[in-house]
Chain A
Amino acid sequence: MTEDRTSFDERLRAAQKRVAGKQATDQKPDAQDKSLLSLAARAGSEMLGGLVVGVLAGWGLDRWFHFRALFIVIFALLGGGAGILNVWRLMKSLERQE
């Protein structure tokens, strides 16, 4: 009889915990994104994104101000910097999660 009661207690508590815990499941962001290949793809796209934005901005400014290639050179460099910054931030955020 006591055994039955403790098992009932346990089951009731477990059921309550299950219901309560349903709302508080902890989903780690980027948890599935840690494989090397997808990480590399992500880092590459971050780098490329910075570059593309830099080149496009430079190209647009060159056309606007009628320069041949001044802004595109400057902004390609800045875009590369931005890309490196993106990758660095990505690595930092992953390291914090580990």
Chain B
Amino acid sequence: MRNPVSLIRHSLVAGVSSLPLLMAAAPGAHAAGMPQLDFRNPLLTGQVIWGAGIFLFFYLALRSWALPKVDTVLASRSQRINGDLDQARAAKVDADNAVRELNETKKAAAAEAQAHLDAVLDEERKQTASRLAELGSKLEVEIASAEKAVAEERSRALESLKPIASDVTEALVQKLTGTKPDRVRIEAAVAKVAAEKSTISAIA
């Protein structure tokens, strides 16, 4: 509060306000010749009385005629502005409601579409799965039959191999030993080897 500026200001004001003391000390010297202080002049008192009447008339004219005109215009304007603002606010609320409704509808439609899509996809998946299962079982059957055929073919081939093997063995043994071997023993040996081989190949 007591900054230098305000201190200077205060002292200046104090100094200036003491000037009237000096002026009051010599009132006659200053006031001499001022027409405003010539109170014997009837025009001076007359202007005060005239002024009182004029001011009273001015006041009454303002109060009952001029100022109410301004007041009505200002009041009607503020009413109008408030009405416009209310309208704008109402319109805004309407618009907001419409936008919210639209958004809700949109959301509902999207949800419905999603649900529909899900159902369709689910159905599709189920169908695919059953078709796949069917296909798998059919394939298995086919594979099984094909394996069986292969196994039969194999055993038949092995069966047809046996006499050849016996013949070859017989010829080999005859060449090596010079004597004709017992056909029954050879066949038994071939059958034994063939059984061993087939188990090995089956394992492999």
- A residues contacting B by CB (< 8 A) are 8-9, 12, 15-16, 19, 22, 36, 39-41, 43-44, 46-48, 51-52, 55, 80, 83, 87, 91, 95, 98
Contact = CB atoms under 8 A, between A and B. Distances in A.
Which DSSP category, helix, strand, loop or mixed, fits chain B's interface?
Answer: helix
B160 interface: no
A43 B18 CA distance: 9
B13 A87 contact: yes
B143 interface: no
A77 B1 CA distance: 31
A19 B77 CA distance: 11
A18 B46 CA distance: 49
Contacts, number: 58
Interface of B: 1, 6, 9-10, 12-14, 16-21, 23-24, 78, 81-82, 85, 88-89, 92
A95 to B, nearest CB: 7
28 contacts: A12-B85, A12-B89, A15-B85, A16-B89, A19-B81, A19-B82, A19-B85, A36-B12, A36-B13, A39-B13, A40-B12, A40-B13, A40-B17, A41-B16, A43-B16, A44-B19, A44-B20, A47-B18, A48-B20, A48-B23, A51-B20, A55-B24, A80-B21, A87-B13, A87-B14, A91-B10, A91-B13, A95-B1
